Amino acid sequence: MTIHDLETPCALVDLDRLEANILGLQAYFAGHGIANRPHMKTHKVPEIALMQMKAGAVGTTCQKLGEAEVMADGGLEDIFLPYNLLGDTKLDRLVRLARRVRMSVTADSAVTVEGLSAAFGAAGLTLPVLVEFDTGIGRCGVQTPAEALALARTIASSRGLVFAGLMTYPHNDRTVPFVEETSALLTRAGLSVGTVSLGGTSGMRQAHTRKGVTEYRAGMYVFGDRSSIAAGATPLETCALTILTTVVSRPTPDRGILDAGSKTLSSDLLGLEGHGLVVEYPEARIEKLTEEHGHGDFGPCARKPAVGDRVRLIPNHCCQIANLLGKLYGVRGEEVRIVWPVLARGKVA
């Protein structure tokens, strides 16, 4: 089977580039003594997570419990879930997972810690819990080293839990001072800081400049996309993921409509203008997406596509693609070598 046999739109993964991306980042982390714990949210395929493990990763990172269940079923044995898990059914599921594989999580509040302790205390298990801190995106996380210390103490004194370190996403110049101040407080309190886990593909190659980091979580690096190209993190020629799409309409001399819309690409902009880079027509602008159409302006292109032509598109945000399409075609050149079902698709709960 070649890519010419595939229905459009569909997602192609260049296997040579995928392998090189996995090995390349692993070599960087190995060179700096940083443990590599890639985030599976981008591909959501256990087999790709196992490729990352084979290259030297210490485990995988999942964002939701349903993803972790799929990864455990797929053979992953060490799963970090940096999310506040709340509610009896989720805690039951977490306990069941922790009986099968090595689980660790984060918390940023006493409420989260209380639930985890009740569940793991009752189960007679011990769960490593990291404190999430906020020097990054302004999302979850304790706001000050004093809060981090207080929560670490709560964890350390909670039945069924062990304090296991600090975690944030992404990282910046405020990260190291926060970690250093918190470490000093922890040491004075007789606690060891343990793991310091940072994340994010855009800053991944600066990880070694963040003093104290012990572990790193990157997701998008396996594929790369228009946003990580723009961030300087993944050169265009390393991008492993493209959307194969058909030009279905050329209603005006400049306009070209693709059969890939927001149900294929997502509407994510990530600060960019337009929706994806057309590989064969880099000057074209995908100005707008509706659900099943990409609205392209090919005006700036000297040569223009015809109705029925197939083109490849590098999406703005690769982390949405596997989740939307449910299938990834692994290719070498034009030959389809493997079809991966996206087993953790839609596992938001």
| C-beta closer to a second copy: residue 102 or 327 | 327
In whole angstroms, how close is the CB of 208 to a second copy at the nearest point?
Answer: 25
CB atoms within 10 A of CB 198: 29
Q: Counting beta carbons within 10 angstroms of the beta carbon of residue 206, is it exposed (0 to 12), middle (13 to 18) or buried (19 or more)?
A: middle
Using the rule CB under 8 A, is 323 a contact of a second copy? yes
Beta strands in 168-236 (DSSP E): 195-199, 215-217
Q: Which CB contacts under 8 angstroms, 24+ apart, belong to 134-137?
A: 134/108, 134/168, 135/168, 135/171, 135/172, 135/174, 135/175, 135/178, 136/168, 136/169, 136/170, 136/171, 136/172, 136/175, 136/200, 137/169, 137/170
Question: What is the nearest approach in angstroms of a second copy to the Cβ of residue 156?
Answer: 20
The reply on whether position 250 binds a second copy by CB under 8 A is: yes
**What is the C-alpha separation between 52 and 59, in angstroms, rounded?**
9
Task: Assess 84 for contact with a second copy (CB under 8 A).
Answer: yes
Rounded CA-CA distance 131/36 in Å is: 19
Query: Which CB, 160 or 261, lies closer to a second copy?
Result: 261
Q: Going residue by residue from 95 to 134, which x/- string records binding to a second copy, judged by CB under 8 A?
A: -------------xx-xx--x------------------x
- 3-state class (DSSP) for residue 104: strand
By the rule CB under 8 A, 201 interacts with a second copy: no
Question: Minimum Å distance from CB 163 to a second copy?
Answer: 19
Q: Which of 221, 306, 318, 326 is nearest to 277 (CA)?
A: 318
In the complex, minimum distance from the CB of residue 20 to a second copy, in angstroms, rounded to a whole number: 25
Q: Which is nearer to a second copy, 195 or 249 (CB)?
A: 249
Handedness of CA 111, 112, 116, 119 (dihedral sign): positive
Q: If binding is defined by CB under 8 A, does position 90 make contact with a second copy?
A: yes
Binding of residue 60 to a second copy (CB under 8 A): no
Alpha-carbon gap, residue 126 to 110, rounded angstroms: 17
Question: Binding segment for a second copy among 184-192, 202-210, 231-239, 267-275 (CB under 8 A)?
Answer: 267-275
Instruction: Tell whether residue 293 is a contact of a second copy (CB under 8 A).
Output: yes
Residue 124 Cβ vs a second copy, minimum distance, rounded to whole Å: 24
Q: Which residues bind a second copy (CB under 8 A)?
A: 5, 7-10, 41, 63-64, 83-84, 86-87, 89-90, 108-109, 111-112, 115, 134, 137-143, 246, 248-252, 255, 257, 259-264, 266-269, 290-293, 295, 306-308, 319-320, 323-326, 345-346, 348-349
